[in-house]
């Protein structure tokens, strides 16, 4: 069973719709119940909005511990804010994340060399930096859909699975043991996004 | 390597059907929303926008049904707008499967709605739509399909909306909408230059060169069109090939 974490913010329907579309036989639920998260075989942690809100909503629902526990043991897919939450701190409201991975979350900066818009919104190229079962049938330089103003600055480069570029190069996928997380939205990235979710369903650690 | 310019087909929905009018009048039926959405996704549309122009509030529910059905089968971003008045309306649309909700007239009547909804649902979920018309040497915001003048300067309004938290601005030139004469690129560039958020150019696409011009001269981050795609004059793929040939980065 796949548990999709619901902390009351954002459009979780689309992640659930996508999982059901590619694999109707896989049991999946959208839940804010810590016990359901504890019982799940795999966990998807999608995110939207701001890190401080996410933390307070998780705490309000008594979910924070169970999500951290899941991220320590089970196949765990973080999406967007769900990637950023894995790190230590964020410039966004000076919030703290789960602190499972070393690094900080920063905001894109306007720069003189290249005109960029913030939020970084749209389809950007993803450069695969390391092989991973989650990249099955996905080529380097494929485009995925992004929408975010913050990104993770990762200390340990061996965790970096892919990068993209928006005024500057930034990490857009990371992996460590049972964790895989992407800054883009696979549930909104058409065929290739669905392929990534399929890879998660069949990923055995 | 950078983010691709987006091509967004817009589907005007009236009583559960997709329609297209000229200057917001003379509506013609364009087909079933789910089938059209599916076709556009297969052709490589980067996003889809549904604009509900249903006049009667009795038939508003039909929109949720459409959004729900489309969101179950099509996995690209969906923006839904038209008649959105409250945070509750926005929440209902997001729950139906919309990724972004467009606010237009309500932002003018109640700018706090933009601040409130972006803090509640995130900037990424809120697109402020601005219908502008040239009045003398400047552009003014209009409502009700271009019929009612507000006296508000469109460029300063765009800045204000971005400041209140809108994640994106959809700029429609009411002078050009339905005319097939191309975007009002002077207006697009004026706004694109003064806001940090992406802008979507809308209103007036008749040929593929207009899409190129919107990016090159209007400095739009995305281009929106309806009739050229609905009536099969061009496919999304043709539009993208044309833009790529003109050195615009697109997702092919």
| Structure confidence at residue B23 (pLDDT) | 52
Test mutation, B5, B37, B75, chain A, max A CBs within 10 A: B75
Start-to-end CA span in chain A (Å): 15
Show Cβ contacts of residue B4 under 8 Å, excluding neighbours closer than 6 positions: A122, A123, A124, A143, B46, B249, B250, B251
Q: Cα B69 to the chain's mean position, in Å?
A: 20
What is the spatial distance between Cα B10 and Cα B205, in angstroms, rounded to a whole number? 12
> Is B29 one of the annotated active-site residues of the chain?
no
Q: Which two tokens stand for residue B30?
A: 């364009």
| Structure confidence at residue B32 (pLDDT) | 81
- Closest Cα partner for B100 from B130, B78, B129? B78
| Structure confidence at residue B122 (pLDDT) | 86
Contact at 8 Å (CB) between A119 and A49?
Answer: no
What is the spatial distance between Cα B218 and Cα B211, in angstroms, rounded to a whole number? 10
| Structure confidence at residue A115 (pLDDT) | 86
Place of tokens 């400095």: B219
> Is A153 one of the annotated active-site residues of the chain?
no
Pick the catalytic residue from B46, B131, B175, B221. B131
Q: Which two tokens stand for residue A119?
A: 């939020």
Q: Which two tokens stand for residue B168?
A: 């994106």
Residue B2 reports pLDDT greater than 90: no
| Structure confidence at residue B147 (pLDDT) | 85
Contact at 8 Å (CB) between B127 and B103?
Answer: yes
Does B172 sit behind a cis peptide bond, omega within 30 degrees of 0 on the bond before it? Answer: no
Q: Is A143 on the interface with B (CB under 8 A)?
A: yes
Q: How many CA atoms, within 13 angstroms, populate the side-chain half-sphere of residue A78?
A: 29
Show Cβ contacts of residue B204 under 8 Å, excluding neighbours closer than 6 positions: B173, B176, B177, B178, B179, B180, B181, B182, B183, B184, B210
Share above pLDDT 90 across residues of chain A, in percent, rounded to a whole number: 83
Considering only the beta carbons, identify the residue of B196, B197, B221 that sits closest to A122: B221
Place of tokens 């040939």: B245
pLDDT digits (tens, 9 = 90+) for B69-112: 999 999 999 999 988 999 999 999 998 999 999 999 999 999 99
Q: Cα A115 to the chain's mean position, in Å?
A: 26
Residue B1 reports pLDDT greater than 80: no
pLDDT digits (tens, 9 = 90+) for B167-208: 999 999 999 998 999 999 999 999 999 999 999 999 999 999
CB contact under 8 A, A21 and B72: yes
- Closest Cα partner for A200 from A126, A125, A135? A135
Tell me the average pLDDT across A186-195: 97
What is the spatial distance between Cα B172 and Cα B141, in angstroms, rounded to a whole number? 10
| Structure confidence at residue A10 (pLDDT) | 66
Q: Is A28 on the interface with B (CB under 8 A)?
A: no
- What angle do helix axes A51-60 and A64-73 make, rounded to 10 degrees? 100
- Going by their DSSP bridges, the two strands B138-143 and B126-135 should be labelled as antiparallel
Provide the shortest C-alpha distance from residue B32 to chain A (in Å).
21
Lowest model confidence (mean pLDDT) among A7-21, A136-150, B233-247:
A7-21
Tell me the average pLDDT across B155-171: 97
Q: Is A75 on the interface with B (CB under 8 A)?
A: no
Chain A contact set for B71 (CB, 8 A)? 13-14, 17
CB contact under 8 A, B1 and A21: no
CB contact under 8 A, A117 and B96: no
What is the spatial distance between Cα A82 and Cα A70, in angstroms, rounded to a whole number? 13
Show Cβ contacts of residue B119 under 8 Å, excluding neighbours closer than 6 positions: B165
| Structure confidence at residue B21 (pLDDT) | 59
Considering only the beta carbons, identify the residue of B71, B167, B221 that sits closest to A14: B71
Contact at 8 Å (CB) between A40 and A70?
Answer: yes
Chain B contact set for A190 (CB, 8 A)? 41, 75-76
Tell me the average pLDDT across B128-138: 96
* Burial readout B225-247 (b: 16 or more C-beta within 10 A, e: otherwise): bbbbbbeeebbbeebbbbbeeee
B93 → chain A, closest CA residue: A11
> Is B12 one of the annotated active-site residues of the chain?
yes
| Structure confidence at residue B95 (pLDDT) | 87
Which residues of A, range 122-141, sit inside 8 Å of B by Cβ? Answer: 122-125, 127
Test mutation, A7, A10, A11, chain B, max B CBs within 10 A: A11
This prediction has a pTM of 0.95
Pick the catalytic residue from A16, A54, A80, A148. A80
| Structure confidence at residue B121 (pLDDT) | 86
Tell me the average pLDDT across B124-129: 95
């Amino acid at each position: 069973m796949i548990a999709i974490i619901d902390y009351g913010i954002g459009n979780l329907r689309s992640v659930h719709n996508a999982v059901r579309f590619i694999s109707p036989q896989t049991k999946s639920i959208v839940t804010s119940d810590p016990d359901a998260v504890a019982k799940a075989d795999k966990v998807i942690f999608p995110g939207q909005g701001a890190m401080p809100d996410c933390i307070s909503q998780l705490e309000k629902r008594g979910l924070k511990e169970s999500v951290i526990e899941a991220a320590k043991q089970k196949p765990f897919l973080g999406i967007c804010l769900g990637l950023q939450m894995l790190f230590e701190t964020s410039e966004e409201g000076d919030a703290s994340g789960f602190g499972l991975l070393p690094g900080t979350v920063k905001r894109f900066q306007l720069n003189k060399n290249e005109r960029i818009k913030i939020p970084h919104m749209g389809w950007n190229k993803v450069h695969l930096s390391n092989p991973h079962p989650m990249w099955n049938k996905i080529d380097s330089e494929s485009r995925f859909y992004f929408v975010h103003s913050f990104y993770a600055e990762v200390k340990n480069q061996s965790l970096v699975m892919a990068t993209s570029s928006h005024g500057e190069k930034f990490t857009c996928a990371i992996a460590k043991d049972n964790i895989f997380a992407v800054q883009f939205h696979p549930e909104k990235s058409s065929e290739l996004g669905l392929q990534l979710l399929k890879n998660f369903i069949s990923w055995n650690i | 390597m950078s983010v691709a310019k987006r091509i967004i087909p817009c589907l005007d929905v009236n009583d559960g059907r997709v329609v297209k009018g000229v200057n917001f009048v003379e509506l013609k039926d364009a087909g079933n929303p789910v089938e059209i959405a599916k076709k556009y996704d297969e052709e490589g549309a980067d996003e889809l926008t549904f604009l509900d122009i249903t006049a009667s509030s009795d038939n508003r529910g039909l929109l949720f049904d459409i959004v729900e059905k489309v969101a179950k089968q099509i996995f690209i971003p969906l923006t839904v707008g038209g008649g959105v008045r409250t945070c509750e309306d926005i929440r209902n649309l997001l729950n139906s499967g919309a990724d972004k909700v467009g606010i237009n007239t309500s932002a003018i009547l109640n700018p706090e709605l933009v601040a409130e909804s972006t803090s509640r649902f995130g900037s990424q979920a809120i697109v402020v739509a601005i219908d502008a018309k040239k009045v003398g040497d400047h552009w003014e915001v209009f409502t009700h399909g271009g019929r009612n003048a507000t006296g508000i300067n469109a460029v300063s309004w765009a800045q204000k909306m971005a400041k209140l938290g809108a994640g994106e601005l959809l700029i429609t030139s009411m002078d050009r909408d339905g005319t097939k004469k191309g975007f009002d690129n002077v207006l697009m560039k004026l706004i694109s230059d003064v806001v940090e958020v992406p802008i979507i150019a809308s209103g007036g696409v008749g040929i593929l060169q207009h899409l190129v011009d919107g990016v090159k001269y209007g400095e739009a981050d995305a281009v929106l069109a309806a009739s050229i795609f609905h009536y099969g004059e061009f496919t999304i793929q043709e539009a993208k090939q044309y833009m790529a040939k003109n050195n615009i980065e697109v997702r092919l």
